[in-house]
Structure formats: C-alpha cells, structure tokens
Chain A
Amino acid sequence: MKSRHQRLLLILAGLAVLAAIAALVLNAFQGNLVFFFSPAEVAAGQAPKDRMFRVGGLVKEGSIRREADGVTLVFIVTDTEKELPVRYKGILPDLFREGKGAVVQGRIGGDGVFAATEVLAKHDENYTPPEAAQAVGDARKRREAIEATAKTLQK
C-alpha cells in the first residue's frame, strides 16, 4: 500500500469516527438543542419547572385580548393539540398575529398562566406575493362555501 493510500484511509477513518462522535454528542444533548417546547410537551411535564424556557406554537385565532391596564396582553399558544395561556407585557414584533407562529420565553406561574418576558414571531418558509396569498385565501373560502352548500343539500 502506498503511503498516500494510507493517508486517505486514515483521513476517511478519522472523519467516520468524528461523525459518529458528533452524532452521539448531539443525540445526548437533544433536549438542550431544542429552542422551544410545544404546548403538548409542556402539558406532559417535559419542560423544565425551575428555570425559564420557551414555548412555541400558533397564536390561537381570536384569543388575543388586553387586560384592564391596557398594556398587558393575554393570548393562547396552541399546537392544535394542547393550549397554553400566556400573559405578556411589552413590545410585540410586527409579525405577531393571530393564527401565526410565535415563540414566547418565560415561566409558568402559580395560576397555570405562562408569564412571558419575551415574545418572538416565527415565520414560515413560504414567500408569496400578497395577491397570491389573497387568491389562496379566497379559493379556500369558496371551497368551504361550496362544501357547506353541499352539506345542506344532502340533508
């Protein structure tokens, strides 16, 4: 075997070992690499109880309301399976909307409400012109209307 072949094998073996180590380490740290927990995971008690953590999900449609002081905001974060009420006082990012993704940081208070100190908006990987988004929304509405009519007719 030529020495350059030996070096090639050595490097390949080294990289394979390295990849295996990385995979094991990442697997071991799995829990710490997660940026946020889902409301279902929080409900299952997987979130840390003694320190701050983040919860991510969709802001439930129609759930945003202001408390009497006018600056404190209460809304519900949902993963469509479980829901978590959140209270937050502060500035919201522009993209924070009902029905869209958000990540909140804080801890769960005694009353079961998540007291957030930071609210981040999460957007998805879709980029569409407004007219297209409008068209998709309209089409969905039309389809729903047709389905509703069909249901009524069946009755």
Chain B
Amino acid sequence: MKDVDVDCRQRYSRQIMLPGVGVEGQRKIGAASVFIVGAGGLGSAAAYYLCAAGVGKLGVADPDQVELSNLQRQILHNTERLGAAKAFSAAQTLRDLNPEVEVAPRRQRLTVENARELLDGYDLVVDCSDNFHTRHAVNDACVCARRPLIYGAVQGFQGQAMTIVPGEGPCYRCLCPDPPAPEEAPPGWQRGVIGVLPGLIGLVQASEALKLILGRGELLTGRLLLYDMLAMEFSQVRVKRSAGCPACGMVKEVFKK
C-alpha cells in the first residue's frame, strides 16, 4: 500500500475506524514486511489474514508441493493446484485476495545455511514450519538479528504459540533447547492434526504480528499459550529466558562488542 487513498480507506475501513489503528496505524501495516516460514496449515491462516489486513510485503517460503492430504487445512491451496509448488500457489491466492500486497514466494526450505539471508530485510517472522530443525534454524537467525519471531505449532487437537522478542524475552531455544530424538518425535504428517486447529493458532500468530506492527497490546512474550480444542480451553505457562541458552547468549556476545 503506497498511500491510504480512497480505495484503501474502503478496503481497510473496518480497522481504520478502530481507536488505536486509524490511518496512521494502517500506514504502519502497509509499510511492514513479514516473512512466513511455511505455507501449510499455520501459514495459510497467518498469511491470508495478514494479506487481507494490508501488510506491505509478505515473504512466503515452502519447499513442498500441494498434496491432496494438505487440503483439509491448508486453505491457501486448492484441488486444481495439486502438484504445484506451495510457495507459488500461496502467492497466487494472496495476490488474488489483495493485489496491493507485494508477495515474495520462495520455493525453499529454511536451513541454518540460508535462514539469515532469506529473512534479511523483513521486519518480523512468523514461524509456521513443520519440523524442529527448521524452527531452531529460524530462531537462531532471528535472535542473532534481533528480529521478532512469532512461534506457533499444532499437533492432534492441541496448539501452542509464543512471541519472541530477542533481548526482551525467552527465545524458542529457551522453550525447546534441542530437537527431540527422531524415534521420539515422528514427523507431523504421521501424527495427525484436526483441520481447523492450525487455522486458530495461525490466527493467534497473525494477531501477534499485527500487535507488533501497531505497537499495541500485550504480546505473548515469555508466555507460552496452550490451546486444547477438545476441552476448549486456553491456558498459559510463563517461560523464562535461560542464562544457559546458546542463542540468547549469542545475542549478548554480539551486542557486547
């Protein structure tokens, strides 16, 4: 969004009218860039609503192709696009929804080697990936660059979310120091997830992203949000930044110099 012109005022009118958002808030949203790691269940919900809200630039990375078993929850994709690269399928859906948003698809998996470069220039990152190794790589790159990161994960009927503001609160390695052994934690596709769940957690992540951009509200910093769909209960666990966390320690070293 280059300016809040007449069309923009209409498109975003329901949020511009909110106290604490207004035209100035909409300009902040339009000037923001957000990188979504993963165009799966979480990423579909987070990216779709951030695009609708008018975030200026959305990066979307995913190395996979659309499969039939994705469509029960990954609403950026559809039956016609089976076999298409998820990153490009996501970009097409997002551009159709809101052509004012610049969408930058990357058909890539984020790794320790490429994460810092791929995330460079973005204001914040929403972690919607589906494995521990990517999550740790994304965390380390964000903590090192002091870039806010919004964590979300789902399994079965349960989900989690936490907002990471490096230097101010715990990071993902404070929460989960190492990936579990592979025999303890089979990949997500073997464990199953109820379709609506990533939608809900992805929208918690998108909500946190908008709060960060607008500078409003209480972030989920140092608070792990837990959602139990069957009990229909939200709860929270306070999490502390650990003195022994290698990622947070790295930041201290970098900023000491």
Instruction: Tell me if chain B binds chain A.
Output: no
- A residues with a Cβ closer than 8 A to B are none
- B residues with a Cβ closer than 8 A to A are none
